[in-house]
Chain A
């Protein structure tokens, strides 16, 4: 028995490498189960706890040195076993909320997760006796827990939307909590979702960026502006100084969300501005009102810049096609593009007099690019005409030389050609 246990242990040690140093009867026995009880042993090698030298007993208690199951899992030896779902946050917090303990393993890891969790919607519901909510293991897994920096971790930035979606797209579960299930589908189509999930831009916001991770909750109306301002600082600043700020406060409207939505935030278009059918301004502003007129003016300014830029782009591309050097014109076009981006941002000042000068500056750059492009096209025409004149002169020279040679080699008056000079040099 001892020999076979030794062999099993030796094989287990080989499998898990150096992380299993001492005799660990938990692994030895659990590995032999065919049921789910052996599952933890199959993912242990990736677990950050195991990698940092902890073992099963550090969480579950018991005596891993004991060779008999009853002794190894003796409550008298501190064996806790599998915690109930409702107990999991506290179970993890025994270590993760203890700064002195955590410092021994990972001093950089915060120890406020449990405190934050208690403030989250998940934690609050759990506190009120509803165990049908997310606990630590719902997002991080139970065994085989990976660092959040590990691309295979369910809490790695790009995997977070999918992890949240496990529960938040479960219609039966969400129905019990009175929550919708379309957030993930909406987010996936949003400009943020496309950036994170399609382009793989890890700087793009995911669920936790706006809702928080351990403290996850629905943001309050007043908080939305601050949440968006984490990335869109200038836009928020302009909004705060605009007349819209006060209006939103009075009406109790969430700032950015009113025009841009929440999970399904589309890439903003110029059509959202103004008084057209796709414009969001007309949702609140009546025709003839000051806001309506401002929206119209700002849209017109953007369109003037767009039109000027499109024309300049065509001209510059045409000049480049002719092989002309258009670096200066392209630089001016880049400046116009920068002004357009800035003008679109300054739309959030909701003041035509603030935004229009920026668009006008862009129009000036676009005109400069247009002029330079036209000059380049004109210059090409000049070059082409110059070339043809030069070629004409060269052909005259060639013709003259040919006639001169013919005259030189023409047979003399007696009908005979001048005798050739004697060959010079060896053949």
Chain B
């Protein structure tokens, strides 16, 4: 018996792997004109993998304290072999993973893949997007540079506006009344321990659900063609992963992540400070909302509206009642398009304001 077959036999004797192999062989993926959008989930997963790999490497040299964080990142970028590449890949993939997750979410929404029985797959996906944004928020502070410091200051100030729990959330995030050394420690542990545990758990659930229920076919598609998940679809996934890896490496080489100036907590907030692009639409909404709306504080209304939008996102499978009966309604489509236009428009507007001389 060959060594590989002996190894396979060793495991088969001990674990019920036959069923799993049987499942992988028989699982299929529908083939139709919208199949392109099926690859965005896999690409998001690949980018999360890149984040874990590059993050683990960064941990070898990163030191999470206000005194050493900036210097350790500079050391990684200038002295560590390929440290610049690891940090740039981590920074770029951090942005791309959120972009990819947003595209995946939008495609699932417009193809109505959340309809029964996949409601919980949608919920876990939306939670994953929130967790990825949490990764972005906590990771942004870790280099301890001026931009990150003041963006975190502004971000945690916004958290303080949340009714009732706001001040408690703010103090919990900051570890005190202001952003400082303690905030960095907290964000570090959230970034490398708490959020990864949560993400791994939710991804596990999400993938198990996707594998058990298979890929959803859009309502408009009547074709019955399909391909086996393994190896046909999996090989296509591999192509997408190779392409996204090439894209991440290219942007990392030509536009490597910069470091800027070390944060000075005593310096005044620089003009035009903005958070990462994926928070810009919320940030700009807060800036544009009037001081008072219907007798309530404008900030409170904006934060409340964002919270309601987040909750509505989670509840989409139940809010879209026609889809539950296998029908498409123009109002749901219009709401989706308006939401995308609002987010893209506000982000573009904020970027334009930020880069205006």
| Distance A408 CA – B234 CA, assembled complex (angstroms) | 13
| 0/1 interface trace, chain B 224-253, chain A, CB 8 Å (1 if under) | 111111011001101100110110011001
User: What's the minimum C-beta distance from B212 to chain A, rounded to whole angstroms?
Assistant: 7
Residue B67 lies at the interface, judged by CB distance under 8 Å to chain A: no
Which residues on the B side are within 8 Å of A423 (C-beta)? 28, 30, 214, 224, 226
User: What's the minimum C-beta distance from B75 to chain A, rounded to whole angstroms?
Assistant: 10
A325–B259 CB distance below 8 A:
yes
| Distance A420 CA – B30 CA, assembled complex (angstroms) | 10
User: What's the minimum C-beta distance from A426 to chain B, rounded to whole angstroms?
Assistant: 6
A323–B258 CB distance below 8 A:
yes
Which residues on the A side are within 8 Å of B85 (C-beta)? 383
B239–A425 CB distance below 8 A:
no
Residue A251 lies at the interface, judged by CB distance under 8 Å to chain B: no
A390–B232 CB distance below 8 A:
no
Give which listed residue, A383, A394, A420, A426, contacts B245 with CB less than 8 A: A394
8 Å CB interface, B233-280 against A: 235-236, 238-239, 242-243, 245-246, 249-250, 253-256, 258-259
In the complex, what residue of chain B is closest to A390 when comparing beta carbons?
B249
Which residues on the B side are within 8 Å of A98 (C-beta)? none
Binds B, one of A256-264, A356-364, A399-407: A399-407
| Distance A387 CA – B214 CA, assembled complex (angstroms) | 37
User: What's the minimum C-beta distance from A190 to chain B, rounded to whole angstroms?
Assistant: 31
A422–B26 CB distance below 8 A:
yes
Residue A68 lies at the interface, judged by CB distance under 8 Å to chain B: no
Known contacts: A394-B246, A401-B238, A424-B28. The answer to whether A325 contacts B253 by CB under 8 A is no
Residue A327 lies at the interface, judged by CB distance under 8 Å to chain B: yes
| Distance A404 CA – B213 CA, assembled complex (angstroms) | 28
Give which listed residue, A324, A398, A409, contacts B239 with CB less than 8 A: A398
Number of B interface residues in the complex (CB < 8 A): 41
Residue B27 lies at the interface, judged by CB distance under 8 Å to chain A: yes
Residue B310 lies at the interface, judged by CB distance under 8 Å to chain A: no
In the complex, what residue of chain B is closest to A324 when comparing beta carbons?
B256
User: What's the minimum C-beta distance from B225 to chain A, rounded to whole angstroms?
Assistant: 7
A401–B242 CB distance below 8 A:
yes
B27–A420 CB distance below 8 A:
no
Which residues on the B side are within 8 Å of A427 (C-beta)? 30, 216-217
A426–B213 CB distance below 8 A:
yes
Give which listed residue, B78, B229, B235, contacts A327 with CB less than 8 A: B78
| Distance A420 CA – B25 CA, assembled complex (angstroms) | 11
8 Å CB interface, B83-99 against A: 84-85
| Distance A323 CA – B253 CA, assembled complex (angstroms) | 9
Residue A397 lies at the interface, judged by CB distance under 8 Å to chain B: yes
Which residues on the B side are within 8 Å of A328 (C-beta)? 78
Which residues on the A side are within 8 Å of B214 (C-beta)? 423-426
8 Å CB interface, B75-116 against A: 77-78, 84-85
Known contacts: A384-B253, A426-B214. The answer to whether A404 contacts B235 by CB under 8 A is yes
User: What's the minimum C-beta distance from B230 to chain A, rounded to whole angstroms?
Assistant: 10
Known contacts: A409-B227, A423-B226, A424-B28. The answer to whether A325 contacts B84 by CB under 8 A is yes
Residue A391 lies at the interface, judged by CB distance under 8 Å to chain B: yes
| Distance A314 CA – B226 CA, assembled complex (angstroms) | 59
Which residues on the A side are within 8 Å of B238 (C-beta)? 401
| Distance A398 CA – B254 CA, assembled complex (angstroms) | 22
Which residues on the A side are within 8 Å of B255 (C-beta)? 323
B235–A421 CB distance below 8 A:
no
Which residues on the A side are within 8 Å of B25 (C-beta)? 421
Can you list 28 contacts pairing A with B, beta carbon distance less than 8 Å?
A: A323-B258, A325-B74, A325-B77, A325-B258, A327-B74, A327-B78, A327-B259, A386-B253, A387-B249, A387-B250, A390-B249, A391-B249, A394-B242, A394-B246, A397-B242, A398-B239, A402-B239, A408-B232, A420-B28, A420-B228, A421-B26, A421-B226, A423-B214, A423-B226, A424-B28, A424-B229, A425-B27, A425-B212
Query: A residues touching B (Cβ–Cβ < 8 Å)?
Result: 323-325, 327-328, 383-384, 386-387, 390-391, 394-395, 397-398, 401-402, 404-405, 408-409, 420-427
